[in-house]
Structure 1
Amino acid sequence: MTQSQKSRTVELQGYRGLAALSTVVFHIWQQYYVYDATGAHPPLDNPYLGALISLEVIDLFFVMSAYLLTLSYARAAIDGEDRTRPGRDFLFRRATRILPLYAIAVLLVWSLRNPTLPGDWRDLLEHLTFTHVLDQKRIFYTLGPTWSLSLEIAFYVTLVAVGPLAIRVCRRLRTRRARVALCASGCGALYLLPVAWIAVAHHVLGIPHTDWPVYFGPQARFGGFAAGMGLAVLLVALGERGRIGARRATALALLSATGLYALSYFSAPENTWHTYYHPLAALLWFALLYATLHVRTAARPRWHGLLRADWLTGVGLISFSLYIWHEPLMLALYDAGAIPHSRAGFPLAVLIVLASGALVATVSYWAVEYPGSLLAGLRDKKGRSREFYPEPKPEPEPAVR
C-alpha cells in the first residue's frame, strides 16, 4: 500500500469516528425528544440544531464499507489484478469481525431484559439470525441500532455472489472501457432497484414510512452499498488520472455537506425529501468521499488534518464496540438516575454517555474485537499469504445506526 493510500484509509477512520459520535448523540436525543407516531424526527426548539443532530450517517457507513470491500473485486474485474479472497475466507473474516462481540452483547442484554424463561424467545432468535429487520414489532428490540447489521450481512452475501461473476464476465471483454462500463452499469442497477422499490411502496401501494421492514430492509436501503461499490469502480477506473486539488476538493466537500444538511432540514414525514432521503444521502456521501480519496497528495486540503487527528481515529478504531454498547449503557444510566431525566439535562447526558461509552468500548475492543481479528490472521497463515491477498485497511466496520 502506498503512502497516499495509507493516508486515505486513516482519513476514512476519521470519518468513522465522526459518524460514531454522531450516532451516539442522535440516540441520546431520541431518548429525550421521543419520535412521534408518524416517524418524524424528534422535535427541538431550534430547528437548525435539530437538523444537524438528526442528520443520519447510516448511509456513510454503507458507502464506506462497500467501497473498501469492493476495491479488490473492481481491480480484478477492470485491470485483471486478481487478489480477491475466496468467498469462504471473506465470510470467515467478516464473521470473526462481527459475531463474537455481537453474540455476547445480544445474549447479555436479552437475558437482562428477559430474566424469566422462555422470555421473548422469538426476539432472541431473530437477533441471532439477523432477521429482526423483517419484524415490525421487534426490529428495535434488545439492541435497537443493530437492525443495520442485517443489511451488512445481505451485502456480504451479495458481494460474494456478484463479485466473482463480474470478474469472469469482464475477462471476456477486450477493452478496459467495456469492463468499466459493465461494472458501472451493474452498480447503477443495484442503486436504482431500491429507488424503484421505495417509489412503488410509497406512491403506488401507499405504505406509510412507519412500516419499518418495508423501508428499513435491504430492498430499500441497498442504495448506500451500491454507491460505495460505484465509488470503488470509479476510483479504480480513474487510477491516478484526474486527481483534484485542494480547492476543488474543499468546494466539493462543502457542497456535499451542505446538501446533506439541507436534506436533513427539509425532511418531514411523508414528504419527498423524507421518502428518498437515503438514496439521495448515499449520493452526497459518495461525493464527499470522492473529495477525500481522489485528491492529489501534494495538495491535500487542510480539513483532511481533522480526519487524521489521533483522538478521532481512536474513536473510529473502537466505533463498532461503541455502536453495540452505547444504547444499553445509555438506558441503564437513565434508569439508574445517573444521567438527567429532563430535556434540559440533554447536554450533560451526552457528555456522560460519550465518556462512559468510550471507556466500555475501549475495553470491549481489546477484549473481544481484537482477539477476533487474530483468528482471521491465523487462517491466513494456514492458507494463503496476506501479501498475495491484501485487504484495504482499516478493516471496514459494520454499519449500525
Structure 2
Amino acid sequence: MRRTDAAPARRRASAIDGFRGLAALSTVAFHVWQQYFRYDAQGSHPPVDDPVLGAVFSLEVIDLFFVLSAYLLTLSYARAALDGGSTRPARLFLFRRAIRILPLYFLAVLVVWATRNPTLPGNWRDLVEHLTFTHVFDQQRIFYTLGPTWSLSLEVLFYLVLVALGPLAVRACRPLRRRRTRVAVCAAGCLFLYAAPLAWIAVAHYRFGVPHTDWVVYFGPQARFGGFAAGMGLAVLTAALGDRGRLGPRTALPLAALALAGLFALSLDSGPENFTFTFYHPIASLLWVLLIFSTLHVRQQTFWHGLLTARWLTAAGLVSYSLFIWHEPVMLQLHNAGLLPTGQSGFLPALLIVFLVAVPVAAASYWLIEYPASLLGRLKDHRGRPREFYPEPATR
C-alpha cells in the first residue's frame, strides 16, 4: 500500500472498530434491558419509564453485526467479480474464520455448559447443538448455554454460503464484457437474497399466522439472511463506485443522521404485532447499510467519525467478540449471586455493574485466548498453503 493510502485505510479501520464497539456495548445494554423487563419489572412495564431512553436501550443491533460482517467478507469477491483478479481459496477463508471464532467459542460453551450441568450426562443435546452451531434450529434450546450465539450459527452458515456463491459470482461475471452488466448481475443476486427472507416473514406471519415466539421460524437463516444480503449489497455498491462518488460532509452527515433517526424511530415504534415489529430486522439492515456507507464512503472525516474513532469505543471494538461471548454468563452469574439491584429502579445501576465486570473479562479473554489463537492464522500463506518458516541467519 502506498503511504498516501495508509492514513485513509487506518481511519476506515478505526471506524469499523468503532462500529464493532458500538454494536457490542449496545448488545450488553439490550440484554440487561431484557433481563430487567422479564424478571425484575415482571413484564408489566419497562425498566425505564422514559420511552425515549427505553428506545435507546432496547435498540437491537444484531443486524449491524450481520451487515458489517457480510460487507467486509464479500468485498474481495465483489471486486474480483466486477474488475477481475483472484480471490482467496475457500479453504484459506474458512481456516481463518475458524481461527477467528472457534477457540473462544468452544471454550466458552464448554465452560458455561459444565457449570450449568454439574452432573453427567446433563443436557447433552444442548451441548451437541451448540458445538455444531445447530441450536438455532431448536425451538426449545436456541437460547440455552450462550443465548446470544444463535446469531453466531447464522454467521457460520453465511460463511458456507459465501464460499459457494462468491466464486460462482466471479465465474458468472467473467464472460460479461460490460462492467455495468457485471454490476447489475451482482446487485440482482444480492436483491434476491434480501427479498427471499422478506417473503418468508410475510407468508409466515400474514398467511399462516405464525406467532413471533416461534424462534425457529423467525430467527433461522430463512428469516434473518436479509441482514447478510444487505451487507453483500453494500460491498457490491462500494466496489462498483471505487473512489468515485465519495460523499462530502454536507451529504454524509445528514445521511448518517437520517439512518440513526430511522433506527431510533424503528425501536420506538416496534410494539408487539405491528408492521415495524414484524419487519424490524430487514428494515434495520437497510438503515445500518445507509449509516455504514455514509461513514466509510466519504472524502474526509466528519463529526460522526470523531465519535466512532474515540479510543474507548475502538478499544471496545477490539474486544467486541469476547464481550459478545461472555457478557450474558457474567450478567446471569451476577444476578444469581444477588449482586445486581432488583426492581425497576435497579436497571441503570445494574447496567453499570455488568459493564464494569464484563468489559475487563472481555479484555482478559481477548489477550489470553483470542489474540494467541489469531497467531495461528500465520501458519498459511495467501494461497492457503502451509507457510515455511526459516531460522534467522546467524550473525557474528
TM bin, normalised by shorter chain, reads over 0.9
2:108 to 105, 110, 121: 105
Matched, 1:281 2:265: no
Asked whether the equivalents of residues 36 and 47 of structure 2 are also in contact (C-alpha less than 8 Å), the reply is no
In structure 2, what is the Cα distance between the partners aligned to 1:318 and 1:43? 28
Instruction: Indicate whether 1:248 and 2:267 are aligned.
Output: no
Residue number among 225, 230, 239 corresponding to 1:236 in the alignment: 239
Match of 1:341 in 2: 342
- 1:168 aligns with 171
- 2:206 aligned to 190, 203, 215, which one? 203
Residues 329 and 357, structure 1, Cα contact 8 Å, conserved in 2: yes
SS at match of 1:188: helix
CA distance in 1, matches of 2:255, 2:63: 18
Q: In 2, are the aligned partners of 1:33 and 1:44 still within 8 Å (CA)?
A: no
Aligned to 1:69: 73
Distance 2:384 2:107 in 1: 28
CA deviations on 1:265-301 (whole Å, 9 max, x unpaired) are 110111110010000000000101110011113xx21
Rounded to whole Å, the distance in 2 between the matches of 1:75 and 1:153 is 23
What SS does structure 2 have at the residue aligned with 1:34? helix
Q: Distance in 1 between matches of 2:349 and 2:129?
A: 35
Aligned-residue offset at 1:5? 2.5
Q: Which residue number corresponds to residue 146 of structure 2?
A: 143
In structure 2, what residue type is equivalent to 1:131? Answer: T
Q: CA deviation at 1:44?
A: 3.9
Distance 1:246 1:261 in 2: 22
SS of aligned partner of 2:38: coil
8 Å CA contact 1:26, 1:54 repeated in 2: yes
Match of 2:59 among 55, 64, 68: 55
**1:163-186 residue CA offsets vs partner (Å, 9 max, x unmatched):** 000000100100111111100110
Structure 1 residue aligned with 2:96: 93
Q: What are the residue-to-residue correspondences of 1:1-400 with 2, within 5 Å?
A: 1=1, 2=5, 3-34=7-38, 42=46, 44-82=48-86, 84-297=87-300, 300-380=301-381, 383=384
- 1:200 to partner: Cα distance: 0.6
Partner amino acid, structure 2, of 1:98: I
Q: Give the CA deviation at 1:100.
A: 0.5
Instruction: Describe the SS at the equivalent of 1:380.
Output: coil
Q: Is the 8 A contact 1:135 1:213 kept in 2?
A: yes
TM superposition shift of 1:339: 2.0
1:35 to 1:156, Cα distance in 2 relative to 1, 3 A: farther
| Residues 316-372 of structure 1 deviation map (CA, whole Å, 9 limit, x = unaligned) | 000100011111111111111222123212211111111111111111001111111
Q: Which amino acid aligns with 1:92?
A: F
Match of 1:399 in 2: none
Are the aligned partners of 1:51 and 1:265 in contact in 2 as well (CA < 8 Å)? yes
Query: Residue 173 of structure 2 contacts residue 185 of structure 2 at CA under 8 Å; is this kept in 1?
Result: yes
Q: Is the 8 A contact 1:67 1:232 kept in 2?
A: yes
Give the structure 2 partner of residue 391 of structure 1: none
Cα distance in 2 for residues equivalent to 1:54 and 1:337:
24
Deviates more, 1:180-189 or 1:349-358: 349-358
Distance 2:189 2:39 in 1: 37
Quick check: 2:47–2:347 contact (8 Å CA) kept in 1? Answer: no
Q: RMSD of the TM alignment (CA)? A: 1.8
Identity over aligned residues, as a percent? 66
SS in 2 for 1:26: helix
Tell me if the contact between 1:334 and 1:341 (Cα under 8 Å) persists in the aligned partners.
no
Q: Taking structure 1 as reference, are residues 122 and 229 closer, same or farther at Cα in structure 2, changes over 3 Å only? A: same
Give the secondary structure class of the aligned counterpart of 1:339. Answer: coil
What secondary structure is seen at the aligned counterpart in 2 of 1:295?
A: coil
- 1:7-49 Cα shifts (integer Å, max 9, x gaps): 112101101111111111111111111189xx99956422221
Q: In 2, distance between residues paired with 1:385 and 1:288?
A: 39
Cα pair distance change 1:349/1:69, threshold 3 Å: same
In structure 1, the residue corresponding to 2:381 is in which secondary structure?
helix
Q: For residues 332 and 10 of structure 2, what CA distance do their matches in structure 1 show? A: 38
The separation in 1 between residues aligned to 2:226 and 2:194, in whole angstroms, is 4
1:30 and 1:42 in contact (8 A); partners too: no
Unaligned runs of at least 5 residues, structure 1: 387-401
SS at match of 1:303: helix
User: How far, CA to CA, are the matches of 2:201 and 2:367 in structure 1?
Assistant: 40
Does the CA-based 8 Å contact 1:253-1:288 persist in structure 2?
yes
Deviation of 1:383 after TM superposition, in Å, equals 4.7
List gaps (5 residues or longer) in structure 2.
Answer: 388-396
Paired amino acid for 1:150: S
The CA distance in 1 between the partners of 2:321 and 2:134, in whole Å, is 20
Secondary structure at 1:137's aligned position in 2? coil
Once residues 224 and 112 of structure 2 are traced to their aligned partners in structure 1, the CA distance between those partners, rounded to angstroms, is: 27
CA distance in 1: counterparts of 2:30 and 2:274, whole angstroms: 22
